[in-house]
């Protein structure tokens, strides 16, 4: 998976979780939860959506790695 594909996937999953959220407004190292006003359930739903869309098993201990745009892209691109 390329960086562009990872970002597209993130946007797609995020649109299902928080349709009003705009990933383009989030700085690469900024917390997704804070920047997009996602509560913990929204974030969990986002992570589950990523896992289901990719087939990647994402253990609880890795959730923090997905908390920023750059972290999420790095995780997704290294897992595929």
Q: What pLDDT is attached to residue 79? A: 81
User: Does domain 3-19+28-79 sit in CATH 3.30.70.2740?
Assistant: no
**pTM for this entry:** 0.90
pLDDT tens digit string along 37-55?
Answer: 999 999 999 999 999 999 9
Domain boundaries, the chain: 3-19+28-79
Burial 37-67 (b: 16+ CB within 10 A, else e): ebeeebbebbbebbbeebeeebeeeeeeebb
- In this prediction, what percent of the chain has a pLDDT beyond 90? 88
């Amino acid at each position: 998976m390329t960086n562009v594909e990872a970002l597209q996937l993130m946007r797609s999953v995020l649109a299902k979780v928080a349709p009003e959220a705009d990933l383009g407004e989030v700085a690469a190292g900024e917390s997704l939860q804070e920047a997009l006003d996602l509560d913990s359930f929204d974030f969990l739903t986002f992570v589950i959506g990523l896992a289901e869309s990719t087939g990647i098993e994402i253990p609880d201990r890795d959730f923090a790695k997905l908390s920023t745009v750059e972290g999420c892209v790095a995780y997704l691109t290294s897992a595929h």
